[in-house]
Structure 1
Amino acid sequence: MNKFLSILGFNKKTPRIVLRGVLLVLFSFLLIAPVYSMSISEMKQEIDNSLRGIEQEIAALVADIDGLKNQQRTLAREVKLFDAQIRKVELEVKRIKIEIDKNHQAIGEKEKEIEVYEKKLQESRNALAETILTVDHNDKESILEIILTADNFSDVFGKITNIESVEKAVHERIAEVKDIKSSLDKEKEVLEAQKEELIGLQTLAAIQQAGLEEKKQAKVDLFAQTKGREKLFNDQLAKAKQDAAVLRQQIFLLEGSGVSMPFEDALALAKKTSSYANIRPAFLLAVLKKESHWGASVGTGNWRDDMHPRDQAAFFEICYELGLDPDSTPVSRKPSYGWGGAMGPAQFLPRTWLGWKDKVAEATGHNPPSPWNLEDAFTASALKLGAGGATQSTDLSVR
């Protein structure tokens, strides 16, 4: 113990109360460290358990909702349906918020990994610089000078061997720098993908929350209009059927992207493309509407001013494949923060589109598919939503 204390800089004259305080702090760290690690592990397990529980409850509610929809429309049935749908969307919002938290955590961990790689890269570059200086020093001494200044042949061979080993070390350092740089670039790509996924999850959360508020308000309106009486509900039902017929003749507009069509055609296209990923057609329409209508900058930018440099090569590849001129092909204008450069009605970034291109071609038969083609754009959005966990998501279906 005395030796241990002396290492820490204490001696016999050090007051006992100080020694006790230091030892208490040290033992506290030893005890807390493993508990903290376990807490992180347990927290992740608890999050996964929560997600499984939510998904099971959502599946049960989907079955209840499907059963209610097959029943005759009455006021009592409508109230039960609203309650089930509201609860389901509440769970969807909760699930997505948990996924967002997980994504934030993953981004934080990835940023720490990148810091480690950047530190390693700097250390390797410094070591390489030192080795190159040694080589430069050796290069200034010719073989003749080495022979003339050496005491014996053993020294000559030793110096030559040393030069060769230093040159070998240079090549090894260069290879090491390249490997670390490659790993760092890959980690940064993963980080960018995680950030894009986070933006997608936040968009879904906003749509889900808006749908939840609409459902709650619809329930309030139902009670206000019917006053709990079945006859008034039947009158409202007849009017709703008339309104639905009018709605089918209205225009579905994706503002800013130049896309407009009869709502019935848009719904038919959404039904076709959403089937590729088993998501609800009206949910797909809501997402597309948000991507274009809520972002008024769609299609008013260009690649030179608004697109992130990392997406430009992918954009050129897409334009070349489709026979388009990049300079005259519109993309989304960049907002006050970040970058624009998204393409078409579904607002895919070029690199993201290339990641889904083959799946879209397989589903639609269009080869190559185009982000500006309606069916391709709808299909890409449906596939991406399905892969992101939106399968059988918020009930926004037209009844």
Structure 2
Amino acid sequence: MVFFGMGRTTLVGWLFWLSLILSLSGVPFFAVAQTPAVCNDSVVGKTESELQADLLLCNAEIARWQGVLNDTRNRADSIDSNVQALTAKIKAAEATIKSKNIAITQLSSDISIRTLKIKSLETSIEEGRHSLAKLMRDTYQLDNFTLAEVVLQSQNFSDFFSDMEAFSAIQSALENRLNELQEHVSWTEVEREKLNEVQRQELDAKYEVEINKKNITVNQKEQREVLAATQQEAKTYEQIVADRQAKASQINAALFRLRGVDGGGIPFKEALAYAETAAAKTGVRTAFILGILRQESDRGDNGNFGVNVGQCLLVDAKTGDGKGKNTGTPFTGLMKVDRDVAPFISLMQRLGRDPYNTPVSCSGPGWYGGGMGPTQFIPSTWQIFEARIAQAFNVSVGDPWNPQHAIMATSIYLQELGAAQGGYSAEREAAGRYYAGGDWKARGLEYAASVLRHTETYQTNIDFLENR
């Protein structure tokens, strides 16, 4: 292929940037030549091994993009630290400028005081000069008189000599004072010049700080722009990670499909977390709890598995009869009257629900219905565990439709049935008793076998997810 108008270096650079852009957008470069496997959330018609392979790809992509995201966040944190450091420098510069302004103002005040003092001294010197000039004129006049004239003007010789001495003393004192004033003027002028020099230095220092502050502010602005771009880049990677995690969640949902209240799905992540919490409290294996949950929540009204639960409504509290929720089909003896109806109505009242509009499992030939929630507790059995569940979760009423409450109650029940001992025999008997009570050997072994099959499947999948 020939690219007209491009040198080899330009072409290589163009290809590099194009490949980088495409890789960030999730589009593989040279897609025709290379078609690497990518995270795919299409689950329809796939086998478990295919789903697990897809999940591995998604987890690998999550790890890769999470690494990129972490690096980007670290860069953002570093840039943010730089911005904060620059902000601190700007604050310090502003404080220095304020300090310089105060110093300059104080120096201006001191210089003004020195200037006023100099003016006062100069005024005193000027007045002294006038006095000295008068004395000099008087001296001149005295020098122009003859001794006889001076003596004749005086009353006596004593007065004459006294006036002469006083005149000379005043002249000498005035000359000394003028010399002192002149020295003060010189000293004050020197001090004023020193203050002027200090003020000039402060002004220069202030100017340098202001220039430095301006440069720091520009740098801070640039760093903030880089930070904003890096944070936006991190958001892009967060979206990529979230997209891959969503795909992984869809695959998990396909691998671990659990039915919950009224046929709604309980996300496996939540069910697993609830089961792990219950297992930690009771010692019952997590996968075994999930096996019971799968068995109970997938048990349909006609005894088959894979049908939604909670398809019937209570109609008559006196007879325990009910009807199909969607079809209106009558169900005689939906609940056992003397065992389950009263506890059911009491529970509904305390939960604030309508007992005649809350779905429960339907009855069938040879069994009563009335199973509540994802683990299908009948009202009389739930009554046994309700207080403990309420206390465990710090609520006023334990709710069998709350998956967390239901799974914990199931785990406690299984613990009491011996499942916490672990092993095939203990779990098999506990599952049988969970379904058929004391008659578990006759009626509960098929149920137990199904639970254990689900249990092993879940254990394998849990181990796979945890990379054990």
Normalising by structure 1, we get a TM-score of: 0.37
Normalising by structure 2, we get a TM-score of: 0.32
Greater C-alpha Rg: 2
